Structure 1
Amino acid sequence: MSLHPHKAIWISWYPHRRTSGICQEWGVPLKVIDSSRDGVIGWLCKGLKTLNMLRRWKPEVLFVQNPSLGLTILAVLSRSYFKYFLVVDAHNEGVKPFVRSSTFVRRLVRFLLKHADRTIVTNESLARVVTEVGGRAIILPDPLPAPTFTPEYKTFDQQQTNNVVVICTYAPDEPISDILAAAEKLPDKSFVCTGNIEKFNRLGLSAPGNVRFTGFLPDKDYWALLLSADVICDLTLMPDCLVCGAYEALAVGRPMVLSANSATRELFGSVAILSEPTPSTIAGALKYAIDNKSELSKKTAKEAEVYKVKWTSRSEQCVKTIKSEIARQDH
């Protein structure tokens, strides 16, 4: 499936597994624009690089990833000049701001949703928001990632059995303190938390003795860690959010404990153990998942194959919708 004969490019201001996966499936060149500068200066540097790239490529179809908010603003404001068909792949923050949720940001997000030609979102709840503000939504969950792991690669060295891998970035939407409290209730279980340890340290939290932190892991080490898990846990306070860890757990066929929001229940409810963000419910969900890990692993592996087929169909429909909309505008 591809957007041929239309000349397309996907621009992002930071790498993301979802973006690279979709680009690979659709044959769309992905350009990740970076800068060594932070803040406003970083935005300006990346903005200039983006404009230069648009001048060189002259795309008929431009895909951008939101976040970044700055990139999406630039793409919307430049659309009439470069005359491209603009498709925004909007993550939760690009539809229902949670971390940066000021009135100004919410209004800006609504403006961007309204003025993109199409907005891709992961679930029906987000699609309704896009439609309500006058935008045009397409629903496409993430493709299943392909683990960069080979049998020759050494599996991550765990301390004991009953291993829980917790996917963390230490962002404001993650109930880290509740997860640590749940770990304290399960002293016979080994917890390994991923993500930048400096961000965890800034939270000022203490961890029980059965919790370890990996810090940043290269991709092969990360997948080896997931494959060593008895259970993978990825929780969010963000409503209607489908977390990356859910797709990753499905890809490696491991039991998963996820947040009990409507989008997660709809997409992963047949295989995931869903939990509210309290220490007791998290601990109970993890214990159940570990106690039933053999059965859950089999169900997850089977569901992964079903998911791939369904995703391919959804992806093909997404491409058809975009091409049809381009053809309609051309006439």
Structure 2
Amino acid sequence: FFRDEIPYIRASLATLLALIRDSPHAILVQLPQGPLLLETLLLKTLRKYKVVADVHSGFLVTMDWKGRLLNTPFVRFLQMADLILVHNDLVLNLIPMNLRAKTLVVLDPWYLICNEEHKTGQGDYIVFPASFAPDEPLEDVINSINSFNIDIRIYVTGNWRRQPRIVKYASNRVIFTGYLKDDDYYKLLLNAKAIVTGTKREYTSLMSAWEAIAYAKPLALTKTKTLENLFKDYAIFYDWRDSRSIVNAVKTVLSSKPNLRAREKLKIKALNGIDMLKNKLEV
């Protein structure tokens, strides 16, 4: 990953040098951003590698001017990729029909997150892993927990400076941790009683949900078609616009145990997806 800003000239040059130096058999291009896809496809004619387009919803569903500039013009180049990856069935429906034959649905390899199967701790708090993006129902969850006076601490991880006004909710029960190193973050998850997370946006899956499954934690999620399709057998769902729905979901996960049978089914599905990807790359 080469950090850069628009128009990504330094990142483009760094990518070029890396491809010349490493001579890879295949390149997995995580999308967005669109210019990276175009660059790897142009260089493909010289370096003779396979291009795998790892398509996330933000590449196909643009919400602002930046997305329309950096993603929309480049969607047409998916036809030149050797293989396309998506991470849920609803995003698959956004892929043009003529490209679906070379598109695989591959779940995130969440089983790599936790080293020990079903390793868990027993804490007295819940965690909301936050990115402080506009589509997160963080404020709705905090307000609901406070309004109904649920006797539980909630740790909100992530860089709250992206949304500074949110810290007005800080209290003995609502703790903003700021950015945590991986070890500290996973230790917090390990000892949590449950994970609450979500998005108001369709087509979006959540790494925080996979982390909850990796650590075998009860999970409360917003009720979107995408999340229900992925996690219907594991998670408890809530309507982010309804405080009582949020509270009921939080109370349910606090009194629940993780569905280990559903967890195992998700692991098998994830492993099968990775096997299909490996087979395609070996052809």
TM-score scaled by structure 2? 0.86
- How far apart are residue 239 of structure 1 and its match? 0.7
2:104 equivalent among 138, 148, 152: 138
Q: Spell out structure 1 runs of 4+ moving beyond 6 A.
A: none
**Post-superposition CA distance 1:177-210 (Å, at most 9, x none):** 2122223224322111010121131x56631532
| Greater RCO, CA 8 A, separation 6+ | 2
Letter in 2 for 1:87: V
Report the residue type matching 1:142 in the other structure. Answer: D
Q: SS where residue 43 of structure 2 aligns?
A: helix
What residue identity is the alignment partner of 1:40?
Answer: I
Deviation at 1:147, TM superposition (A): 4.4
| CA deviation profile, 1:52-90 (whole Å, cap 9, x unmatched) | 111122233221212344422322333333332210112
Distance 1:40 1:241, change over 3 A: closer
CA pair 58-102 structure 1, distance change in 2 beyond 3 A: closer
- Paired residues for 1:128-277 under 5 Å: 128-132=93-97, 134=99, 136-147=102-113, 161=124, 163-187=125-149, 188-201=151-164, 203=165, 206-207=168-169, 209=171, 210-277=173-240
Matched residues in 2 for 1:287 and 1:100: separation? 40
Match of 2:268 in 1: 309
1:318 CA drift (Å) = 2.4
Please say if 1:288 is aligned against 2:252. yes
CA offset digits 1:14-55 (Å, max 9, x no partner): xxxxxxxxxxxxxxxxxxxx34xx4237x2222111101111
Q: Counterpart in 1 of 2:46?
A: 81
Instruction: Determine if the alignment matches structure 1 residue 40 to structure 2 residue 6.
Output: yes
Distance 2:79 2:109 in 1: 26
CA apart distance, 1:100: 5.6
Q: Which runs of 5+ in 1 are unaligned?
A: 1-12, 14-33, 325-331
- Judged with a 3 Å threshold, the aligned counterparts in structure 2 of structure 1 residues 104 and 146 are, in CA distance, closer, same or farther, namely closer
Q: Distance in 2 between matches of 1:319 and 1:146?
A: 17
- Cα distance change, pair 271–204 in 1 and its aligned pair in 2 (3 A): closer
Residue 164 of structure 1 contacts residue 192 of structure 1 at CA under 8 Å; is this kept in 2?
yes
Cα contact 2:127–2:156 (8 A) shared by 1: yes
* CA contact 1:95–1:113 (8 Å) conserved in 2: no
Q: Find 2:19's aligned residue among 54, 58, 68.
A: 54
Preserved CA contact (<8 Å) 2:132 2:158:
yes
**How much does 1:149 deviate?**
7.3
Deviation at 1:99, TM superposition (A): 5.7
Residue 22 of structure 2 aligns to which amino acid in structure 1? W
CA shift in 2, pair 1:192/1:311, >3 Å: same
Distance 1:233 1:182, change over 3 A: same
For residue 284 of structure 1, report the CA deviation from its aligned partner: 2.2
Alignment partner of 1:65 out of 30, 34, 59: 30
Distance change in 2, residues 1:63/1:230 (3 Å): same
Residue identity matched to 1:139? V
What is the identity, as a one-letter code, of the residue corresponding to 1:94? F
Query: Which moved further from structure 2: 304-313 or 121-130?
Result: 304-313
Could you list the per-position Cα deviations for residues 189-245 of structure 1 after superposition, in whole angstroms to 9, with x for gaps in the alignment? 2111010121131x5663153211111111111111112211101111221222001
> SS at the partner of 1:271?
coil
User: Aligned equivalents of 2:58 and 2:179: distance in 1?
Assistant: 23
Q: Which position in structure 1 is the counterpart of 2:73?
A: 108
With over 3 angstroms needed to count, the CA separation of the structure-2 counterparts of 1:255 and 1:197, relative to structure 1, is: same
**Structure 1 134/247 Cα, relative in aligned 2: closer, same or farther at 3 Å?**
same
